[in-house]
Chain A
């Protein structure tokens, strides 16, 4: 008979849970790294003066922001082995979540670039800085400051997005707990624990981002 909340069941499967959490964070971290690379590349394309590149960037962002992650998860999972690329479920999930996340990161970087403003660029030019010097020394640090809270949200949604990887049997949190549920029928305990685990992970991430934000950018943020 299933119980309301079976603490013993959760404690007995503590190792599976811990490994699930590690896998969730590993997949989240890998997908995030990939999405930063794709985001930067996407922004460079979108902001390019060359028309075809700009269109490519635009197409990338709109395509991935207007389709569900599952589509890409299945496309990579079923499609890559068909063309002879066998990489394992973890990599397929990382590619799907990372490339889609890149579209959102592109928009975060674009927003930050727009927020820094033309007068900063002109001031840097007036001081005799070259284009790339102005970008590296003047604009990028300010863009990072502007984009930091949005990047924090992106980290959280990437970690939450990894739950979908359970459908292609990546052994992350949701998958591990689903297996325990399938063999014991204690679905209430199992999915409560799953929700609590994500809640704890997300709270830790949110609090660390807020602390880092206060520490690094606190003096630049007005009205806080």
Chain B
């Protein structure tokens, strides 16, 4: 595919934008996920109900609709003008946050209740138990699963191309519209594959290594 060669650098830059926005969304997802995951496990009834509502709601709506909502709907009912960058980051963060909160919740619940009892018997309070005993053990479960969420965010960020945000997918389409050839889309697919497959291998490796200490 020689036609695409002059555009390889542009496509690589697009991949950089994809990674940047997905990483930013991942950071927000971790913050939301940790807050929601803690709420779900710490506040028995209300916390459970509220967090279930959030998670079920987000998992029942396509990511595209979340992005459209952020980009088109919110500026209509408020005076806030939202850039494609902000709309994408916001929508991906809320989307990833729902999945991340499930990851955090299952991580916390993977630590045996006996650990809690033992820590309480030693006179530790909730936050100290969480920070010193539960969190270090939960990480074994949350880190590999969190990498899975990151992969979903990278794939999901391609949807931002629809509102005209120029990341890898939109770059590939722009190049296709210039040279009228499929090769830029194939190159984009290969770049997505390298990033996501690499991450999934890393996740599998970490899962194995962290699992050894369980």
Q: What residues of chain A have their CB less than 8 Å away from a CB belonging to chain B?
A: 2, 4, 62-63, 65-71, 74-75, 78-79, 82, 156, 160-161, 163-164, 166-167, 174, 178, 181, 185-188, 190-192, 194-195, 198-199, 202-203
Contact = CB atoms under 8 A, between A and B. Distances in A.
A49 B162 CA distance: 43
Contact of B185 (A62, A71, A186, A188): A71
23 contacts: A62-B193, A66-B192, A67-B155, A67-B189, A68-B159, A71-B158, A74-B185, A75-B182, A79-B185, A160-B61, A160-B62, A163-B62, A163-B65, A164-B159, A181-B72, A185-B76, A188-B73, A188-B76, A195-B69, A198-B62, A198-B65, A199-B57, A203-B60
Contact of B76 (A2, A68, A166): A2
B64 A164 contact: yes
A164 B76 contact: no
Interface of B: 57, 59-62, 64-65, 68-69, 72-74, 76-77, 151, 155-156, 158-159, 161-162, 169, 172-173, 176, 182, 185-186, 188-189, 192-193, 196-197, 200
B126 to A, nearest CB: 28
B197 A70 contact: no
A199 B55 CA distance: 12
Among B64, B159, B186: residue with most chain A CB under 10 A: B64
Nearest to A200: B60
A199 B60 contact: yes
Contacts of B60: 156, 160, 198-199, 202-203
Secondary structure at the B interface, as helix, strand, loop or mixed, is: helix
A106 B161 CA distance: 29
B159 A66 contact: no
Secondary structure at the A interface, as helix, strand, loop or mixed, is: helix
A191 B197 CA distance: 34
B189 to A, nearest CB: 5
Nearest to B190: A67
B192 A174 contact: no
B110 to A, nearest CB: 17
What are the 6 tightest A-B residue pairs by CB atom distance, in nearest-first order? A163-B62, A66-B196, A68-B158, A187-B72, A202-B60, A68-B155
B169 to A, nearest CB: 6
A181 B158 CA distance: 23
A78 B76 contact: no
A198 B62 CA distance: 8
A181 B173 CA distance: 25
Given A78-B185, A79-B182, A82-B182, A191 B64 contact: no
B72 A191 contact: yes
A91 B159 CA distance: 20
A196 B169 CA distance: 28
